[in-house]
Amino acid sequence: MSSYVVVGASRGLGFEYLRQLSENPENIVVGLVRNVQATRDKVAAEIDRPNVHIFYSDLSDYKTLPGAVEETSKVTGGKLDVLIANAAVGGDYFDLTLSELGSDPEKLEKDLTDCFRLNVVAQAHAVNAFMPLVLLGKTKKVIVMTTGMADVDLVRKYDLWMGVGYCASKAALNMIIAKFSAEYREKGVLFLGISPGVVDTSASDTNGAKDAVNRASSALGAKLLEYEPEWKGPIQTEESIKKILSVTDKATAEDGNAGDFVSHLGNKRWV
């Protein structure tokens, strides 16, 4: 039996984590979301298992975290085995280059600050809030969702110009993961960044959050085909999370990957 918290579980990969982790009835699976009732309804309709619990937290306001920790603690017995920091934003201008953003300085400000606020600062708050429970847990793992698009070598070799704020913020997030690992590895806590591959989560994008990402998708797809000519296109959430869990289940604080970021394949191949 293990306990899990998935931060940002309302849809996409976060919701698929809830589905797969709750398959084991012994597990306790908590999802943190902004829209509690809608997510509880969706869980009832699509998962319907008593070991899934949905609580409120809006990551854009760190003051909502202590309440979420308290609610979680009540169902997990005051400890937590695995924290999964999954929430992210892609920004409104994923399809613009840096100079296009710069031609309207307000857009440059917004892209970088929106992405850094949620993808970096809010992640650090969320991890800090749950660390007391993680330190009391059995497995002591913090899995943070990042992206291969934050791999500087990939960006420079294949001229990946899109997703400026998103990629820069995920690169900064990778450093935050390394810093947390530097602090907690000797206490037996594994911090690991995971890129899920390119995953089709458009079906659950009910609020158009991915419009800008979709506009950049054919240019990005062409670059990824240069990188991996055998690439077959986006995979489904089910396949991605299955592969991620096989990587994270095996990973330990001592295996040399602590504080690093790897793909759903367990290495530095991003698709």
- Choice from 2, 22, 72, 195 touching ligand NAP (CB under 6 A): 195
Residue of 2, 11, 48, 1 lying closest to 31 (CA atoms): 11
Residue that the structure tokens 């970021």 belong to: 261
- Choice from 8, 91, 163, 193 touching ligand NAP (CB under 6 A): 8
Minimum CB–partner distance for residue 260 and ligand NAP (Å): 16
**What is the biggest distance separating any 2 CA atoms in the chain, rounded to whole angstroms?**
54
Judged by CB under 6 A, which stretch of 96-104, 129-137, 157-165, 198-206 contacts ligand NAP? 198-206
Please indicate whether residue 187 is annotated as part of the active site.
Answer: no
Contact call for residue 36 and ligand NAP (CB under 6 A): no
- Choice from 11, 42, 141, 243 touching ligand NAP (CB under 6 A): 11
Minimum CB–partner distance for residue 250 and ligand NAP (Å): 20
Q: What distance in Å separates the CA atoms of residue 122 and residue 261, rounded to the nearest whole number?
A: 19
Torsion angles phi and psi, residue 108, rounded to 5: -60, -45
- Choice from 29, 82, 89, 241 touching ligand NAP (CB under 6 A): 89
Contact call for residue 199 and ligand NAP (CB under 6 A): yes
User: Which residues on adjacent β-strands are paired with residue 235?
Assistant: 199
Please indicate whether residue 232 is annotated as part of the active site.
Answer: no
Contacts with ligand NAP by CB under 6 A: the residue count is 26
Torsion angles phi and psi, residue 236, rounded to 5: -90, 160
Minimum CB–partner distance for residue 165 and ligand NAP (Å): 12
Nearest to ligand NAP of 110, 188 (CB atom): 110
Contact call for residue 91 and ligand NAP (CB under 6 A): no
Number of neighbouring beta carbons within 10 Å of residue 128:
12
Minimum CB–partner distance for residue 238 and ligand NAP (Å): 12
The number of residues making up the chain comes to 271
Residue 8: Cβ-neighbour burial (10 angstroms; 0-12, 13-18, 19+): buried
Query: E-assigned strands of the chain?
Result: 3-7, 28-33, 52-56, 82-85, 141-145, 190-195, 261-263
- Choice from 124, 135, 178, 209 touching ligand NAP (CB under 6 A): 209
Contact call for residue 3 and ligand NAP (CB under 6 A): no
Which residues, 6 or more positions from 124, have their beta carbon under 8 angstroms from its beta carbon?
A: 176, 180
What DSSP character marks residue 235? B
Catalytic positions are: 166, 170
List residues near ligand NAP by CB under 6 A.
8, 10-14, 33-35, 58-60, 86-89, 118, 145, 147, 195-196, 198-199, 201, 204, 209
